[in-house]
Amino acid sequence: MKNSSYRELIFAKWIVPLEGKKSILSDHCLVKKDHKIEQIIPADEAIEIFPDCNRIELKDHALLPGLINCHTHAAMTLFRGIADDIPLKPWLEEHIWPLEGQFVSADFVKLGTNLAIAEMIQSGTTCFNDMYFFPDIVAQTAESLGIRAAVGMIMLDFPTVWASGPDEYLSKGLKLADELKYSTLISPTFAPHAPYTVSDEPLKRIRVLADELDLPIHMHIHETQHETEQSIDQYGMRPLERLSKLGLLSPRLIAVHMVHLLSEEIQSLAELGVNLLHCPEANLKLGSGISPIKQCLEAGINIALGTDGVASNNDLNMLGELRTAALLAKGASSDAETVTAWQALEMATINAAKALNIDNVCGSLEPGKSADMIAVDLSALHCQPVYNPVSQIVYSASRSQVTHSWVEGKLLMKDRQLTHIDTDQLLEQVSQISQNIASN
Amino acid sequence: MKNSSYRELIFAKWIVPLEGKKSILSDHCLVKKDHKIEQIIPADEAIEIFPDCNRIELKDHALLPGLINCHTHAAMTLFRGIADDIPLKPWLEEHIWPLEGQFVSADFVKLGTNLAIAEMIQSGTTCFNDMYFFPDIVAQTAESLGIRAAVGMIMLDFPTVWASGPDEYLSKGLKLADELKYSTLISPTFAPHAPYTVSDEPLKRIRVLADELDLPIHMHIHETQHETEQSIDQYGMRPLERLSKLGLLSPRLIAVHMVHLLSEEIQSLAELGVNLLHCPEANLKLGSGISPIKQCLEAGINIALGTDGVASNNDLNMLGELRTAALLAKGASSDAETVTAWQALEMATINAAKALNIDNVCGSLEPGKSADMIAVDLSALHCQPVYNPVSQIVYSASRSQVTHSWVEGKLLMKDRQLTHIDTDQLLEQVSQISQNIASN
C-alpha cells in the first residue's frame, strides 16, 4: 500500500500543550497521524487542509498531555483502606508486610494492577512508574491494556515471594529488561526499594548496570525522620550521603519522597541533576511530613509527582495529587506564589517524562511525540465560570471530568467508557479476592 | 385528617449515623416520617412493621448526615479562578475587593449563591454558614432552593455596596434576623468580618446583642501572620487577646481560620469553649499557613470545617475538604493517627452543627432530628474493594459519588439530578455575567 497511515482531527475548546510555554490554544485542532501527534493548528485551517479526515469534537473540553503517575505500587489497590490512620513503620511491619506475605502472588498482582490501570485511565493517567513484586506481570498487564508504564526491577536484601535475595532479584529483573527491549510502551527501571532495605553491594551493582543499560533508578529515599536517624546509627551518615558515596546521585535517579532534606542536600541534588519524585498525599497520610518543594523548585531540581500505592493514599488520582501538590507547597512555605497551577501540571506531565527519560516520546503535546493525551470536560457546574481553564483543571476539576484518554493514539477511554477493560468482570474478581482478604 | 403524616423507608448498604459512636450499620433502614428521622432499624424489621410504605433502595451506598460547610462566601463562585497563586493581602486588595466594588449587587449575589448551592448539593453539603454582602438575598435564595443555611449579619468599619458603616450594617442585619424568626431552614449569625476590619465599638455592640438574641458570632481570626503583627502595632496585643478583652471568646464564637496560634491561646480557647472553624485548603492556597489542628483537638476544642469562598479554594467541595483536613493534620504534625477518617467526618457534620448551635436539629442521623442526609455510592471502581466504608468515603470517594441529598426530608438531589434547580438556565446566566467580568 502506498499510504496506509490514518489521520484523525481532534478539535477541543482548549488545547494546553505544556510545551514549555504557558500556551492555551482556543479554536485549535490536534492532528493525529497513526500513533503520533502530527501538528496542532487553528481549527479552520485543519478543516481546509484535511476535509475528509475523521473528526472528534470536544466542545467543552481541554485537551492536554496524559498525566504521568511517577510512583506507584499498582497492585496494592487490593489493599485499599485496609489499614488507615497508622504511621509508616507499624503500617508496614504490622499490616502491609504480613498481608503481602500472605496474599501476594502472580494472580494477585495481575488483578490488582488491572484494577489500578482501570482507575488510572479513568482519572487521566496515561503512564505510570511502578515498583512491586512480579514486575513481569505488571508489564504484561500494562502492555495488554495499552497503557504506558515503567516497571521496576525490584531489589531487596531479604527474600520475598518474588525472589530469594539480591542475585535472584537482579537476574529476574534483567531477564525482564531484556524481554522489554522491543516494547514501545513498557520500559524497565532499576528499583532498589530503599536505603534501609538494600545494602551497599547490590546498590553498587545496580549503579554499574544502570550506566551500562542507560536506565533510570527508582528508589524511596528520606521518606521519614526515622530512616535518616537509623542510617546514621548503622552507616554513620544520612542515606543521601551514603548513596552519594555509592555514585547513585545522578540524573538517572528518581528519588521518591525526599521529605527530610537539609539545605546543602537540596543544593547537591540540584547540581547532580537528581529527579525528585514528590508524593504529597502519601507523605501526609502516613505522617511522614512535608517535602520542602519550594526550596527544591528554587534550586532547580526536576520535580515530578506520584500517588504512591493506594494503601497509603487511598487512590491513584493524579488530578487530585497535582491539586494537593499545588496547595500544600504554598501552605507549607507560606508563599501563595509557589507551585502555580502551571507548575503543578508540568510536574504531572513533562517533568515526569524527563525523570523517566521518555520526554522525547511523551509528556507534552508536540509534533512527533506519541499521542498520549487526555480530554477534561470543564462544563461541570463546579468549574463555572471558566476564566482560566488551567486554573479550573488544577484547582476545581474532579477525576470524573476526564472523558477521553489516548495512549499511542489509541483510545483507552471514550466518553468515560473504558475501551479495553471489562469493568463488570474486573469488579467481580476484585470482590472475590477482597472477601478472602477481609476474612483473614 | 386523622393521620396525614408521610413515612418513607430508606434502605442503604451502610448507614453511618455519626451519633457519637463509630457505628457502621449494615442491612439497616432509616425510617423517615415527614421531615424527620423517626428511627433506624434492621431492614427486615422495617419491612415487617411498615409493609406499605414507599421505599428507596440504595444498594451500593452509604447513608450519612448531610455535610455542613461551616464557612462560605457563597456568591463568590462567580469569581472562581479569577486570581490564583497570589497571597492574601494583594489577592484581597488588588483583585477581590476591586472586583467586588465593581460587580457585586443583589442580582450578583442571587446568581452566585444559586450557583454555589447547586455545587454544594452536588457535593454533599446540606447546610452552609455564609458571610457576604446582601445576606437577605442569600437567605431568600437558600430558603427557596430548600437548603439549610446560617447567614451572617456582616459588619465592617468601612462602607460597601451593602451598607454605609457599622450602624447600617447592624440595622440591616437585625432586620434580617427578625425576618428569619420563623424560618426552620435559615438562621442568622453575627458576622463581624475580622479583627482588622472591625473596631472595638461595633464588636462590643455585637457581643451584647449576640447574648440577648442567643446567636453565634462568625468571624475570621488569626488567618495570617501579618494580621497578628498588625494588631500588635495597632492595639499593642494579638487579635485573640483583644477579642478576649471585648468578651467575645465564648461558645458563641465560630473562629474561622485560626492558623497562627500560641500554645497558651489554644488552652484558653478550649477553656472558653470557642469553636474553631478550619479551612485547610484556603489556608494552603493563599499561603496563610497550616492550623495546628492536632494540638487543638488534643486540647478539646470543637473543630468544624469549611471551604471558604471559591475564589480561594477553588470549589465548595466538602468531601474534598474533609479529606484534605485528615491528610494535612497528619503530615503537619508528623502523626498519622491524628484526625482519623471518623474525626474528619465529625468535623464536617456534628461538630459544625454544634458550632452553629443547631445540633438539636441536624449533624447526625438520630431519631427526632431533621432528615438532612446524603447518600454516597461506593461502587465506583476507585473505591474498590470496600474493607471499611468510612475510609472509602473520606480517603477515596469523589463528590460525583454523592447521589442523593435530603434537607428536612425533601429530596434536593436524586440520582445526581438536582430537583429544585434548572441547571441549564443557571449556567446560561452564569455565562453571561462572567463574560462581563472577564472583559473588565
Tens digit of each residue's pLDDT (9 = 90 or more) over B91-115: 889 999 899 999 999 999 999 999 9
How many whole angstroms separate alpha carbon A386 and alpha carbon A64?
16
Residue of A nearest to B422 (CA): A381
CA-CA-CA-CA torsion sign (A262, A267, A268, A269): positive
Q: What are phi and psi of B371, to 5 degrees?
A: -80, 75
Cβ contacts of B392 on chain A, cutoff 8 Å: 80-81, 314
How many whole angstroms separate alpha carbon A283 and alpha carbon B59?
34
Residues whose CB falls within 8 Å of the CB of residue B207, separated by 6 or more in sequence, listed in order: B217, B246, B247, B248
Residue of B nearest to A379 (CA): B427
Judged against a pLDDT cut of 70, whether residue A253 lies above it is answered with yes
pLDDT at B5: 83
How many whole angstroms separate alpha carbon A281 and alpha carbon A284?
5
3 state SS of A102: helix
List, edge to edge, every strand of the sheet that includes A302-305. Answer: A67-72, A125-130, A148-155, A186-192, A217-221, A253-257, A275-278, A302-305
CA-CA-CA-CA torsion sign (B114, B120, B126, B128): negative
**A313 part of contact set with chain B, CB < 8 Å:** yes
Grid coordinates representing B351 are 461538630
pLDDT at A421: 96
Collect the ranges in chain B with pLDDT lower than 70.
1-4
How many whole angstroms separate alpha carbon A109 and alpha carbon A433?
12
Cβ contacts of B434 on chain A, cutoff 8 Å: 384-387
Q: Indicate whether A80 belongs to any domain.
A: yes
Residue finishing a domain among A338, A355, A372: A355
Q: Clarify whether residues A176 and A242 are in a common domain.
A: yes
pLDDT at A3: 55
Least CB-CB distance to B382: which of A119, A395, A437? A119
Q: Indicate whether B88 belongs to any domain.
A: yes
Query: How big is chain A, counted in residues?
Result: 440
For residues B387 and A82, the answer to whether their CB atoms sit within 8 Å is yes
Q: What average pLDDT does range A50-72 have in this prediction? A: 97
Q: Nearest C-alpha of chain A: how many angstroms from B284?
A: 4
How many whole angstroms separate alpha carbon A117 and alpha carbon A423?
11
Identify whether A314 is preceded by a cis peptide bond (ω within 30 of 0). Answer: yes
A125-130 and A148-155 as β-strands: parallel, antiparallel, unpaired? parallel
Q: Clarify whether residues A244 and A96 are in a common domain.
A: yes
Q: Which of A52-75 are b and which e, b meaning 16 or more Cβ less than 10 Å from the residue's Cβ?
A: ebeebebebbbbbbbbbbbbbbbb
Q: Clarify whether residues A195 and A283 are in a common domain.
A: yes
Listed residue (A180, A198, A202) closest to A189, CA to CA: A180
How many Å is the Cα radius of gyration of chain B? 21
Q: Clarify whether residues A209 and A159 are in a common domain.
A: yes
Q: Clarify whether residues A221 and A306 are in a common domain.
A: yes
Mean pLDDT score of chain A: 96
Q: Clarify whether residues A39 and A178 are in a common domain.
A: no
Q: Indicate whether B418 belongs to any domain.
A: no
Grid coordinates representing B181 are 424568626
Cβ contacts of B122 on chain A, cutoff 8 Å: 381-382
Least CB-CB distance to B381: which of A336, A384, A427? A427
Grid coordinates representing A94 are 504490622
pLDDT at B311: 87
Tens digit of each residue's pLDDT (9 = 90 or more) over A378-415: 999 999 999 999 999 999 999 999 999 999 999 999 99
**A207 part of contact set with chain B, CB < 8 Å:** no
Cβ contacts of B432 on chain A, cutoff 8 Å: none
Cβ contacts of B278 on chain A, cutoff 8 Å: none
Q: Indicate whether B332 belongs to any domain.
A: yes
Q: What are phi and psi of A119, to 5 degrees?
A: -65, -40
Residues whose CB falls within 8 Å of the CB of residue B172, separated by 6 or more in sequence, listed in order: B136, B153, B162, B163
How many whole angstroms separate alpha carbon A379 and alpha carbon A391?
14
HSE (CB half, 13 Å, CA atoms) of B200?
A: 9
A54-65 and A67-72 as β-strands: parallel, antiparallel, unpaired? unpaired
Q: Clarify whether residues A14 and A123 are in a common domain.
A: no
Task: Give the largest Cα separation in chain B, rounded.
Answer: 70
Least CB-CB distance to B427: which of A320, A381, A391? A381
3 state SS of B194: coil
Q: Indicate whether B434 belongs to any domain.
A: no
Contact: B81, A395; criterion CB under 8 Å: yes
How many whole angstroms separate alpha carbon B109 and alpha carbon B382?
37
Q: Clarify whether residues A264 and A120 are in a common domain.
A: yes
Residue of A nearest to B313 (CA): A395
- A227-233: long-range pairs with CB below 8 Å, 24+: A227/A194, A227/A195, A227/A196, A227/A260, A228/A260, A230/A196, A231/A195, A231/A196
- ipTM for the complex? 0.96
How many whole angstroms separate alpha carbon A339 and alpha carbon A326?
5
Residue ranges with strand state E in B156-252:
186-192, 217-221
Cβ contacts of B438 on chain A, cutoff 8 Å: 385, 387
Q: Clarify whether residues A81 and A33 are in a common domain.
A: no
- Best of A59, A78, A85 to disrupt the B interface (most B CBs within 10 Å) is A85
Cβ contacts of B336 on chain A, cutoff 8 Å: 85-88, 91, 285-287
How many whole angstroms separate alpha carbon A73 and alpha carbon A310?
8
Residues within 8 A of A (CB atoms), B 16-55 only: none
Instruction: CATH number of the domain at A28, please.
Output: 2.30.40.10
Residue finishing a domain among B355, B381, B400: B355
Cβ contacts of A325 on chain B, cutoff 8 Å: none
Residues within 8 A of A (CB atoms), B 102-121 only: 115, 118-119
Q: Indicate whether B430 belongs to any domain.
A: no
Q: What angle do CA A392, A396, A397 make, to 5 degrees?
A: 85
Residue with grid cell 467586588, as numbered in its chain: B100
For residues B395 and B341, the answer to whether their CB atoms sit within 8 Å is yes
Contact: B334, A288; criterion CB under 8 Å: yes
How many Å is the Cα radius of gyration of chain A? 21
- Best of B328, B340, B401, B431 to disrupt the A interface (most A CBs within 10 Å) is B328
For residues A338 and A328, the answer to whether their CB atoms sit within 8 Å is no
How many whole angstroms separate alpha carbon A364 and alpha carbon B37?
53
Task: Give the largest Cα separation in chain A, rounded.
Answer: 70
Amino acid at B343: Q
Q: Clarify whether residues B77 and B142 are in a common domain.
A: yes
Q: Clarify whether residues A209 and A305 are in a common domain.
A: yes
Judged against a pLDDT cut of 80, whether residue A4 lies above it is answered with no
Residues whose CB falls within 8 Å of the CB of residue A267, separated by 6 or more in sequence, listed in order: A299
Q: Indicate whether B417 belongs to any domain.
A: no
**A182 part of contact set with chain B, CB < 8 Å:** no
Q: What average pLDDT does range A249-256 have in this prediction? A: 98
Q: What angle do CA B153, B157, B160 make, to 5 degrees?
A: 70
Cβ contacts of A387 on chain B, cutoff 8 Å: 80-82, 434, 437-438
Q: Indicate whether B1 belongs to any domain.
A: no
**B439 part of contact set with chain A, CB < 8 Å:** no
Interface A-B, measured as beta-carbon pairs within 8 A, has a size of: 222
Query: How big is chain B, counted in residues?
Result: 440
- Provide the phi-psi class of A98: left if phi over 0, else alpha when psi is between -120 and 50, else beta: alpha
Q: Where are the alpha helices (DSSP H) in A104-165?
A: 106-122, 135-145
Residue of A nearest to B399 (CA): A398
Contact: A328, B430; criterion CB under 8 Å: no
Cβ contacts of B383 on chain A, cutoff 8 Å: 80
Residue B122 is part of which domain span? 67-355
Cβ contacts of A341 on chain B, cutoff 8 Å: 84-85
Residues within 8 A of B (CB atoms), A 65-104 only: 77-78, 80-82, 84-88, 91
- Provide the phi-psi class of B411: left if phi over 0, else alpha when psi is between -120 and 50, else beta: beta
Contact: B80, A284; criterion CB under 8 Å: no
Contact: A327, B284; criterion CB under 8 Å: yes
Tens digit of each residue's pLDDT (9 = 90 or more) over A165-224: 999 999 999 999 999 999 999 999 999 999 999 999 999 999 999 999 999 999 999 999
A373-377 and A54-65 as β-strands: parallel, antiparallel, unpaired? antiparallel
Q: Clarify whether residues B71 and B61 are in a common domain.
A: no
Least CB-CB distance to A331: which of B290, B379, B392? B290
How many whole angstroms separate alpha carbon B375 and alpha carbon B398?
12
Residue of A nearest to B118 (CA): A381
pLDDT at B250: 98
- Please give the C-alpha separations between residue A362 and each of A67, A124, A213, in angstroms, as whole numbers: 10, 14, 21
Could you please report the per-residue DSSP string of B298-365? HHT-EEEE----GGGTS---HHHHHHHHHHHHHHHHT-TTSS-HHHHHHHTTHHHHHHTT-TTTSSS-
Instruction: CATH number of the domain at A317, please.
Output: 3.20.20.140
Q: How many domains does chain A have?
A: 2
Partners of B282 in the β-ladder? none
pLDDT at B2: 46
Q: Which of B11-48 are b and which e, b meaning 16 or more Cβ less than 10 Å from the residue's Cβ?
A: bbbbbbbbbeeeeebeebbbbbbeebbbebbebeebee
Partners of B56 in the β-ladder? B10
Task: Write out the H or E segment, with its range, that includes residue A58.
Answer: strand A54-65
Tens digit of each residue's pLDDT (9 = 90 or more) over A344-362: 999 999 999 999 999 999 9
pLDDT at B316: 98
Contact: A288, B331; criterion CB under 8 Å: yes
Q: What are phi and psi of B338, to 5 degrees?
A: -85, 155
Q: What average pLDDT does range A248-256 have in this prediction? A: 98
**B437 part of contact set with chain A, CB < 8 Å:** yes
Listed residue (B129, B108, B162, B25) closest to B352, CA to CA: B129
Could you please report the per-residue DSSP string of B157-180? SS--SS-SSHHHHHHHHHHHHHHG
Listed residue (A277, A223, A211) closest to A248, CA to CA: A211
Q: Nearest C-alpha of chain B: how many angstroms from A183?
A: 28
Contact: A396, B81; criterion CB under 8 Å: yes
